[in-house]
Amino acid sequence: MTTPQITITVILFITLILFAWGKYRHDIVAIFCLVMAVVAGVVPSEDAFTGFGHAAVITVAAVLIISHALKNAGVVNVIASYLTPFTDNIYIHIASLTAVVTVASAFMNNVGALALMLPVAIATANQANRSPALVLMPLAFGSILGGMTTLIGTPPNIIIASYRAEVSGEAFSMFDFSPVGFFVALIGLAFITLIGWRFIPTDRSSKDGTALFEISHYLTEIEIKPGSALVGELLKDNEIFGSDQVDVVGMAQKNGFARPIPLQYRFSEEDILLVQGDPSHLQQIVEENGLELLTTASSNFIQPQSDNEIMLEGVVGQTSPLIDRSVEYLRIQAKRTMALVGIARNGEVIKTRLKRQRFKAGDVLLVFGDADSIDEQFQNLGLWPLAKRPLSLNRQRKVIPALLVFAGAIAMGVAGFVTLPIAFLIAIGIFILMKIISVREIYDEIDWPVIVLLGSMIPVGRALESTGTTNWMANAILQVTEGLPAVALLTMILVVTMFLSDIINNAATALVMAPIGVAIATSLGVSSDAFLMAVAVGASCAFLTPIGHQSNTLVMGPGGYHFGDYWRMGLPLEIIIVAVSVPILLIVWPL
């Protein structure tokens, strides 16, 4: 073993210990690892930051942005509405989400499938009052399992198919991976649904934009627009209002006050309803029923630019100048740049229009304004900020166009017209032009610590290959197994590939291990297909760390996971996969 190999091995070992310890944030540990590798000379200084331009880093950032764009377009609400009936039971909740992403990953890039389902999982978890951590790791693992079932599901399969063409003259076809991949995915899905999720820590604070202070009784106002599904419908027959989530408490009159609304009332166009409930549920109702969410903005309200719009909630402090003041006072003090969207008052049912409110200490206000000035305005008005609300004011639903753009990006990537990161960037550009997502939201939605983690660790992974450390590890295992039967060597190749895939990129693992697998098969005088398939399965099984696969990295921030959380469910899953896949490999691809 050479000095560079010893050096990079020691650095990696220390880094993994720090990751597992969890005292320091993962991006800080990753930077430390990169700096040590550069100082030790195993990573050239000119290559230290090349990882930040790697396709995997761009893909992760792009996927997070696309997920938010699909949410803005209403895609999340549509899919979530179909899955919501399955969320009452934790087993069915996890099974439905994971099964959808597993099937989707077989026919589209597994990272793309996860991108589509990530916001759906968060939305349904919030609706069911469950920690997103319970569903996001199963979702990521499901995308990995589904990806191994077809040629296009994951890059390692494409690499293995291409390498087989080099050594035998014929590549693996689209569904050659299915017999083994299908059973592995099926067994893996069953384990995750029935047992695996129990190993996931739930005491994690996620970064999904969920409000830190849950308010379920905001008073807000909505207007029934022409063509709305509510026009002509009786209140008593309406299934939207009257639930625990949103209730109609009155109707606005022309004199600016409100009056009670009888159950026999039939809705008409331009009716302004006073409703009370959770804004997140109200947002979906507004989008689906031709309604408009109103604010107290007057005709001379200074509308913020789309990039700077923000919906923020804050508590009226004991010394706030707003106490016993009207909405007009708020308008004047905010210089016509802030509008009241909703108000909550200690669980009290409020039946007075927003414009007629007089504020009290302890009121929770939901306001709309300019992100550049709202912090200063909150300070001047004596408001204690709570959390940004993931709401938009009457943003038009664009479900079909958004899905077509997303599907087009995936198709371009799969067909090879452009690489997947470029396809995703094209999709983001179109989303901006369609005003589905703003420039400010693009930067807000990127989980920068995860980007730093990936960008820092990729050069270290390359150092493992350039110093010959990965080959040394593989050859050492082969020496230990000398004289063992072919089945034992096949199992060993699978296990070693799994281990490497948890540390370095799965595509790089496939490139390193495929020649070794073929060499072993040749020396034993057996078919190399089983060994190549073992490498394909092992390269996709990166379940122990967040850095082994992009799917794991994507859910790290939203799920609030620590580096050491993944192996809790990942280790038993990998053991099960080894036990299941080896017999099936021998049956489908006999030695």
Torsion of CA 550, 551, 554, 558, to 10 degrees: -160
Residue 166 phi/psi, 5-degree rounding, is -70, -40
What's the gap between Cα 466 and its chain centre?
Answer: 33
Nearest to 110 by CA among 429, 443, 553: 553
CA angle 385, 300, 256 (to 5 degrees): 80
Q: What CATH topology corresponds to 218-292?
A: Alpha-Beta Plaits (3.30.70)
* Signed CA dihedral, 210, 215, 217, 223: sign only: negative
Choose among 11, 144, 185, 189: nearest CA to 546. 144
DSSP symbol at 249: E
pLDDT for residue 506 is more than 90: no
276, containing H or E segment: strand 272-277
What is the C-alpha to C-alpha distance for residues 220 and 291, in angstroms, rounded to an integer?
13
Q: Where are the chain's structural domains?
A: 218-292, 306-388, 462-588
**The domain 306-388 is classified under which CATH number: 3.40.50.300, 2.60.40.2140, 3.40.50.2300, 3.30.70.1450?**
3.30.70.1450
Closest CA to 311 of 363, 386, 362: 386
Contact 265, 235 (CB under 8 A): yes
Q: What is the pLDDT of residue 395?
A: 55
27: closest CA among 556, 382, 436? 556
> Is residue 575 predicted with pLDDT exceeding 90?
yes
The residues, any chain, with a CB within 8 Å of residue 180's CB and separated by 6 or more, are 533, 537, 581, 584, 585, 588, 589
Phi, psi of 550 (to 5 degrees): -65, -30
pLDDT at 20: 59
Tokens of 319: 């010394």
Query: Given a cut of 90, is residue 585 above it in pLDDT?
Result: yes
Integer Cα distance of 359 and 351 in angstroms: 14
Predicted local confidence at residue 214, as pLDDT: 42
Task: For residue 209, name the pLDDT band (cuts at 50, 70, 90).
Answer: very low
Q: Is residue 207 predicted with pLDDT exceeding 70? A: no
In this predicted structure, the answer to whether residue 256 has a pLDDT above a threshold of 70 is no
CA–CA separation, 393 and 373 (whole Å): 19
CB 206 within 8 A of CB 133: yes
Q: Calculate mean pLDDT across residues 530-551.
A: 89
Nearest to 265 by CA among 257, 276, 273: 273
Give the number of other CB atoms < 10 A from CB of residue 49. Answer: 14
Residue 351 has pLDDT above 90, yes or no: no
Residue 423's CB is within 10 A of a number of other CB atoms, namely 24
Nearest to 15 by CA among 3, 4, 24, 2: 24
CB 192 within 8 A of CB 572: no
Predicted local confidence at residue 262, as pLDDT: 84
Q: Which two tokens stand for residue 238?
A: 């309406």
Tokens standing for 336?
Answer: 């016509």
Element (H, E) at 248: strand 246-252
pLDDT bucket at 251, cuts 50 / 70 / 90? confident
Q: What are phi and psi of 249, to 5 degrees?
A: -110, -5
- DSSP three-state, residue 106: helix
Sequence-ordered list of residues with C-beta below 8 angstroms from that of 363, at least 6 positions apart, any chain: 315, 316, 343, 344, 345
User: How far are the Cα atoms of 316, 341, 347, 486, 495 from residue 295, in angstroms, in the given order?
Assistant: 18, 5, 21, 72, 59
Per DSSP (E only), the strands in 345-405 are 364-370, 383-388
The Cβ of residue 483 has, within 10 Å, a number of other Cβ atoms equal to 6
Structural tokens at position 204 = 């994690």
What angle is formed at CA 265 by the lines to CA 259 and CA 269, rounded to 5 degrees?
85
Q: What percentage of the chain exceeds 70 in pLDDT?
A: 89
Contacts of 2 (CB under 8 A, 6+ apart): 467, 468
Confidence band, pLDDT 50/70/90 cuts, at residue 474: low
Q: What is the band of 211 on the pLDDT scale with cuts at 50, 70, 90?
A: very low
**pLDDT (average), residues 541-550:** 85
In this predicted structure, which of 94-98, 108-112, 226-230 has the lowest mean pLDDT? 108-112
Q: Angle 55-73/75-83 helices, nearest 10 degrees?
A: 80
Domains 218-292 and 306-388 share a fold: yes
pLDDT band at 505 (very low <50, low <70, confident <90, very high): low
Start-end of H helices in 301-373 = 327-333
Query: What are the residue ranges of helices labelled H in 74-154?
Result: 75-83, 90-107, 110-127, 133-147
Q: In this structure, are residues 145 and 104 in contact, taking their beta carbons and an 8 Å threshold?
A: no
Q: How would residue 577 be classed by pLDDT, with cut points 50, 70 and 90?
A: very high
Q: Which of 98-112, 203-217, 272-286, 426-440 has the lowest mean pLDDT?
A: 203-217
Task: Identify the CA nearest to 115 among candidates 147, 70, 82.
Answer: 70
What is the average per-residue pLDDT within 187-215?
Answer: 71
Residue 29: per-residue pLDDT: 85
pLDDT at 414 over 80: no
The rounded mean pLDDT for the chain is: 82
Instruction: Encode burial over 352-368: b for 16+ CB neighbours within 10 A, e otherwise.
Output: ebbbebebeeebbbbbb
pLDDT at 150 over 90: no
**What's the pLDDT band for 519 if we cut at 50, 70, 90?**
confident
Highest mean pLDDT of the ranges 75-79, 179-183, 382-386, 543-547: 179-183
8 Å CB contact between 111 and 144: no
pLDDT over 60 (residue 216): no
Mean of the pLDDT values across residues 398-422? 85
Q: Which of 388, 364, 362 is nearest to 374 (CA)?
A: 388
Q: What is the DSSP string of 39-52?
A: HTTSS-GGGTTGGG
- Please say if the pLDDT value at position 212 is more than 90: no
First to last CA, the chain: 33
Least confident of 107-111, 212-216, 451-455, 457-461: 212-216
Which single residue is written with the structure tokens 């029934």? Answer: 224
Task: List the structure tokens of 567.
Answer: 């192996």
